[in-house]
Amino acid sequence: ELKKQEGKQFAVDGVPKALPALQRAARLQQKAGAPAMSWEQLQATLYEMEGKMESNHRHDQISSDETLHQLYGDALFALVAFGRGLELNAEDALREACDRFMHASRTAEGNGVVE
């Protein structure tokens, strides 16, 4: 009853839109009671998305940036669910990947590999 008074009818209504997107995805999944994904489920989901992209491309329907945008978002959402199953924090994992990329990029540039 208190939730309805605050304008929150559903469990996911309490998740702030202002959260970083990866953190928001994890919180939405938790609030909705969505199960984490296994490796097999993640592979199946990504395979299905790949099939949709190939089908759209074959039929010249992929001209819509919105379609690509949605598929990309769905893939990220699935990866967050997979990470939750491993008790991984998507924000931390991506932040660390960015740090590794920066280090590798600086090293390559320092060695004259990149101009």
Q: What is the DSSP string of 10-44?
A: SGGGGS-TTS-HHHHHHHHHHHHTPPPPPHHHHHH
pTM metric for this prediction: 0.74
**Which residues, other chains included, contact 32 with Cβ-Cβ below 8 Å and sequence gap of 6+?**
11, 12
- Identify the structural domains of the chain with CATH numbers, from first to last: 19-110 (1.10.287.1080)
Residues 72 and 67: their CA atoms lie apart, in Å, by: 9
**How confident is the model at residue 103, as a pLDDT?**
95
**How confident is the model at residue 5, as a pLDDT?**
56
The separation between CA 7 and the C-alpha centre of its own chain, rounded to angstroms, equals 27
**Average pLDDT per block of 10 residues along the chain, 115 residues long:** 64 92 93 88 86 71 69 90 92 96 92 74
For the chain, the first-to-last Cα distance in angstroms comes to: 62
Q: How far is CA 84 from CA 47, 87, 91, 102, in A?
A: 20, 5, 12, 26
Angle between helices 90-110 and 65-85 (to 10 degrees): 110
**How confident is the model at residue 36, as a pLDDT?**
86
**How confident is the model at residue 94, as a pLDDT?**
95
